Amino acid sequence: MKKQWYDYLWIWSIVYFALGFFNILFAWLGMIDFMLPLIFAIFGGNKFFCNNMCGRGQLLNKLGTDLKCSRNHKTPKWMVSKWFRYGFLVFFLCMFGNIVFQTWLVASGAENLREVIKLFWTFKVPWGWTYTQGMTYDWIAQFSFGFYSLMLTSTLIGIIVMILFKPRSWCTFCPMGTMTQSICRIKKN
């Protein structure tokens, strides 16, 4: 099959995390990956993004299949089950809501900017070198730290399940995938 430009979007996935290592404000670019799948699903009634343009999926495939980093074991049934998929989607949306709430707290002056990223929603990692106070509004930076944490954590989870199971095991419970498939199913019915 002839390669398309979007077959190389796995590079974008790496570039995104690299940019966030130097300037956290680049984390906002991740909103593209958040909005595009929804736009395709709502207006196109398809999962073109997941199927062709997901840089994370491509990267996991590259690592798991091409670089043979995956054990290629079966994904556990519970991980593919509806309750886990929708449960993880709800959890993920709650965590995203928390990021928005923290941003609002900083914007309203109730909280100070915290220059840390949180891995797996638990472990705080200092990330202050990526932002200089006064570069922009603090709430913009606060959202960046939160969103970058979410993107990095979900990629790390993807890498862990890629190693343990199949290259694209993450796709079975990816919140964006679950959300867009649900939209497509609702639209079709």
Contacting positions for other proteins (CB under 8 A): 1, 40-41, 45-48, 50-52, 57, 61, 72, 74-75, 80, 85, 165-172, 174, 177-178, 180-181, 183-185, 187-188
Structure-token pair, residue 94: 């709650």
Residue 47 or 114: the one with the smaller Cβ distance to other proteins is 47
Shortest separation between residue 168's beta carbon and other proteins, angstroms: 4
Residue 144 or 178: the one with the smaller Cβ distance to other proteins is 178
Residue 1 or 110: the one with the smaller Cβ distance to other proteins is 1
Helices (H), 76-167: 77-80, 82-108, 138-164
Alpha-carbon Rg for the chain, nearest whole angstrom, is 17
Burial class (CB in 10 A: 0-12, 13-18, 19+), 49: buried
Shortest separation between residue 79's beta carbon and other proteins, angstroms: 9
Residue 70 or 130: the one with the smaller Cβ distance to other proteins is 70
CA distance 41 to 185: 10
Exposed e or buried b per residue across 11-36, where buried means at least 16 C-beta atoms within 10 angstroms of its C-beta = ebbeebbebbeeebbbbebbeebeeb
